[in-house]
A and B are shown apart, each in its own frame.
Chain A
Amino acid sequence: MKTEDLISALAADVPPVPRHGLLRRLIAGLLPGGLVTLVLVGLGLGFRADLWPAMHGGMFWVKWLYTGSLALCATLATLRLARPDAGVAGWLWLACLPVLGLVVISVQELASVPSSQWLAMWLGMSWKVCSTNVFLLSLPIFGGLLWSFRRLAPTRLRLAGATAGLTAGAWGATLYCLHCPESAAIFVLTWYTLGMAAAAAGGALLGPRLLRW
């Protein structure tokens, strides 16, 4: 094909790009993925029976603040890495803060109970499935992000894949909080983080292949 013909063909179809078109594109991928995950949590796992009373307690919000702030940082990092001339992803460093915060809370919590209870707090009732659930719930959101990336232009594919994976994992974990009745900080710090890290690792592994353009 002649270059001139190509240009004529391309210039014949120029829809306007809305302001913040990149952000909109990312959200347009995140929302349907998140909706699928929400349905899976609601219908597949079931919302926790004490969801309403739990929302009046502090720990529910600590969990949400933890996963939610990670999700936000990861989303913003992904937003930056979706541009070809992206700089360093500073938001990823900011994501260390919630982790450190939860470490502090966990230590305080452990210090306030006898050490004989530590193992029970750490393993809770669902340690065997928690990380796996978080990882699996991240998949629909990751799929949505892959759709978003079809019009985006990342140049650091492995890092972009990792942040997309972390974004999906953290939003997935945020929705998983609606099911999971665990309330020990050390539990969340271990098993939630493991699930989100697995999602990020999966994204890093697949990034160079799936995000190529």
Chain B
Amino acid sequence: MQPGEEALKQWMVMGLAGDSAAHGQLLRALVPILRGFYRRRMSAQEDEIEDLLQETLIAVHTRRATYDVARPFTSWLFAVARYKMIDHFRQGGRTCTIEGLEDILAVEGFAEASDAVADVERLLETIPKKQAAAIRATRIDGLSTAEAATKLDLGESDIKVSVHRGLKALAQRVKDSLL
């Protein structure tokens, strides 16, 4: 289970106050989040993603004074991550396949997008843990079914069924909340 906005923000604020343990906790928690963020958006080699991840961690560390504690932490984080990715492409100076380029380039509406992340988190909490974990692994972190199966210590078909049932339940929740 990845820590959400609240936990991340709390660590960030404590880190800004000089709490190095909280700061380390924050950076460690960001690793899977950022890895998922980059994997979903670029078709790069693992080591390339790892480089980008490390650069982003350094930027989060050295430029943390630019975080406004009155605003959501994740929108700041993903703005940094997105900038680092675009800069990476610019540096490479070659064409890469970027999925959802229009989403990346849309600077406006970014707050809404991070609100959506929070909404997804809230929805996932309403379905059984196993289904939520399977959806998170395959649809949010971008793992393949096989990778998700290893990570969660489940069978591949179990993962598939959980994702299927989970998505169905989520759709029902959304439908209910709209009625």
* Chain A residues within CB distance 8 Å of chain B: 1, 3, 6-8, 10-17, 21-22, 25, 82-85, 87-88, 151-153, 155-156, 212-213
Contacts and interface: CB of A to CB of B under 8 A. Distances in A.
B17 to A, nearest CB: 5
Given A6-B54, A11-B24, A152 B63 contact: yes
Interface of A is mostly: loop
A11 B27 contact: yes
Given A3-B53, A7-B27, A85-B76, A14 B19 contact: yes
A16 B17 contact: yes
Contacts of A151: 62-63, 65-66
Contact of A3 (B24, B31, B108): B31
B13 to A, nearest CB: 10
A10 B61 CA distance: 7
Interface residues of B, number: 38
B65 A11 contact: no
Given A8-B24, A85-B71, A21 B65 contact: yes
B79 interface: yes
Given A14-B20, A85-B110, A153-B80, A25 B65 contact: yes
B20 A12 contact: yes
B59 interface: yes
Contacts of A13: 20
